Amino acid sequence: MSFSYPRITVAVAAAACALLAVAGCGSSGSSTGSSPSGTGSSTGSAGSAAPTGASLSVPENAALHAELPASVRSAGTLVAVNTGSFPPYDILASTGGSLSGASGELEQALGSLLGIKITNVTVSSLPTELTGMKTGRYSLDLGPDGDFASREGNADFIDWVTEHVVFAVQKGNPDNITSLASTCGLKVSVMEGGSAEQVLEGQSTTCKQEGKSAVQVQSYQDQPTALLAVTSGRADAFFSSEAPLTYFVNQTHGQLQLAGTSSANGFSKLYQGAMVTKGSPLSNVLLSAMQILFKDGTYQKIMQQSQLQKNMIPAPGLDLAAHSG
């Protein structure tokens, strides 16, 4: 899920191939262990992030440009970090590393509006990303990243979508998974280090307290490997964000389906957005820029092009998780 920050270092086509379990299409991945450190690699800029629809033309806003930190204005660049493809939000090209998808288009629009170039760097894991942001190596992660009140002590979130957390299962839903409570005794894959993993581990504890078998949590570093665990039978379900799961499930041509779509599955109102370090001078300028893109229709166009209408919110906000009921 977007707050799980998956890592994919191959083309999305190869990722889809992995989901379909075609032999030799990608690495098999591994269950959770120590996260690789990863040094990160440059993956293009806003100028090279090809949109999925018509090119978006957003004029520079001189007042917003002036609100950027002096160091950013001088360099003319912001460094954005990500942990790999997360369709339909982040789609990394196999050559050149350009970023497309909804996040790529939003990044392009923000760069134009602020009068700067946004350069992308891909790292191997969330801990590496957060360390780099704390040391100033990276300025932001456009996400969308999961905004939780527990995270807002260390980061600011400029929220721009909502998300729902569901399951991908074999066709016919053989284990009859209807909600998080249905997972006792099942093998469930999840993205390593994210909140979905924490929720699933919490459910495993609940299962044991109720005298039931624990959830067998399988943690992976990328979406295709986690989905491959389901298609190969190593896992009974994959627990993640609905938007990317829908994208990947559709590419299995009926081999997988979604389940638990009518349940909260351990989450309340789930906001996601761009993430910067707590108190960053970028927080307010990014919020102001988002407000402009919402008002002029750019945001709506981007979301519609990626078929993310159900994830749209009326207006962007800062740290909305702390204010949600």
pLDDT at 249: 93
The distance in angstroms from the start CA to the end CA of the chain is 22
**Rounded Cα–Cα distance for residues 94 and 272 (Å):** 26
DSSP 75-109: HTEEEEEE-S-BTTTBEE-SSTT-EEHHHHHHHHH
pTM to 2 decimal places: 0.76
Q: Alpha-carbon distance 103 to 87, whole Å?
A: 9
Predicted pLDDT of residue 57? 76
Side-chain-side CA neighbours of 245 within 13 Å: the count stands at 28
Per-residue model confidence (pLDDT) at position 298: 97
Quote the pLDDT of residue 17: 41
Name residue 238's beta-bridge partners. Answer: 168, 189
Beta bridge partners of 168: 238, 258
Task: Report CA 284 to chain centroid distance, whole Å.
Answer: 22
Q: Strand 216-220 to strand 155-162: parallel, antiparallel, or no bridges (unpaired)?
A: unpaired
Environment class of residue 320 by beta-carbon count within 10 Å: exposed (0-12), middle (13-18) or buried (19+)?
Answer: buried
* Cα 161 to Cα 241: distance, rounded to the nearest angstrom: 12
Instruction: List, run by run, the mean pLDDT of 10-residue segments along the chain (325 residues).
Output: 36 39 32 36 37 65 97 95 84 72 94 95 82 92 88 92 95 98 98 88 98 97 88 97 91 94 90 94 97 97 94 96 71
Two structure tokens written together for 145: 């990243």
Per residue, the 3-state secondary structure of 148-171, as one string, reads CHHHCCCEEEEEEEECCEEEEEEC
Among the listed residues 45, 35, 116, 40, the one whose alpha carbon sits nearest the alpha carbon of residue 84: 40
Q: Which two tokens stand for residue 97?
A: 């590393």
What is the distance between the alpha carbons of residues 186 and 236, in angstroms, rounded to a whole number? 6
Q: What is the DSSP letter of 40?
A: -
* pLDDT at residue 108, rounded to an integer: 94
